Amino acid sequence: MSAGADKKDSPLWQDRALFLAHCVALEQEAADRMHELAETMAVHNNPALHELLSSLAAHSDSHALDMKAICKNETLPRFKAWEYAWPDDESPEIFHYSSVHYLMSAEDALQSALEVEQRAEAFYRDIADNATNPAIKQLAEQFATEEREHANSIANRLSALKAGSQKDSSKDPDQTDFDPPHTPE
């Protein structure tokens, strides 16, 4: 297996244990990356974003625990990091490093969080649409629906944030950079 494996032959559509191993890794990697990002914001003295990202990370932790609970009686295969059959280089529900910046706002963070939830939904939806194993199809449908709910919840937070910032622009996150880079662009 490799990233971008031929869709026609995707074993994720047929092998329940393989599919669930991917689901567990997807949720765990999402939580790990979110915690990593939250911690960098704490280190860089951005308590507002640290708090926001930590709350998103806590949700990811909870989803990862739910997924592990679903799989508790399963014997799942173990993979090396590069052996997962993700559609791209990394698991779908993960912040790509290029989407992160030390001056990112709460709005940027929620927008990126929304996009990763949508990618996770698309990943499960694709499996639900193509799985030949009915058990996998049913689970993938369920997980896609859950990811849709997560995306809706984040979209609502994003809308509320945008509405709040329009109402009172003085409450915009402080974008003052006291240590700007020498990048005269």
Partner 1 sequence: MLSAKQYKSGVKPIWCPGCGHFAVLNAITKAFAALEQAPEDAVLVSGIGCSSRLPAYINSYGFHGVHGRALPVAAGLKVARPDLNVIAMGGDGDGFSIGGNHFLHACRRNVDIVYIVMDNEVYGMTKGQASPTTPARWEHSKLTPHGPEVRPFQPCAIALASGASFIARGYSGDPNGLAHMLFEAVQHPGFAFIQVLSQCPTFCPEQKQWKETVHLEEVCTDDPVKAAAFLHGDDGLSKGIFYRQPRPTWPVEHPDTQPTNLRKSFEI
Q: Binding pattern to partner 1, positions 100-139, x when CB under 8 A?
A: xxx-x-----------------------------------
Distance CA 34, CA 53 (A): 7
Least CB distance from residue 98 to partner 1, whole Å?
A: 4
Extract the tokens encoding 174: 């402080």
Tell me how far, at minimum, the Cβ of 122 lies from partner 1, in Å.
Answer: 18
User: E-assigned strands of 5-137?
Assistant: none
In this complex, which beta carbon is closest to partner 1, that of residue 106 or of residue 144?
Answer: 106
Taken in order 128, 130, 134, 135, the sign of the CA dihedral is: negative
Residue carrying structure tokens 């990202």: 53
What is the distance between the alpha carbons of residues 34 and 163, in angstroms, rounded to a whole number?
A: 25
Confirm or reject binding of residue 176 to partner 1 (CB under 8 A). no
- For partner 1, the binding residues in 22-51 under the rule CB under 8 A are 32, 36-37, 39-44
| Minimum CB distance to partner 1 smaller for 87 or for 137 | 87
Phi, psi of 161 (to 5 degrees): -65, -45
Q: How far apart are CA 118 and CA 112, in angstroms?
A: 10
| Burial readout 128-145 (b: 16 or more C-beta within 10 A, e: otherwise) | beebebeebbebbbebbe
Among 73, 168, 175, 184, binds partner 1 (CB under 8 A): 184
List the x/- string, 58-97, binding to partner 1 by CB under 8 A: ----------------------xxx-x-x--xx-----xx
Least distance to partner 1 from the beta carbon of 30, Å? Answer: 14
Judged by the rule CB under 8 A, the positions of this chain that interact with partner 1 are: 3, 32, 36-37, 39-44, 80-82, 84, 86, 89-90, 96-102, 104, 181-185
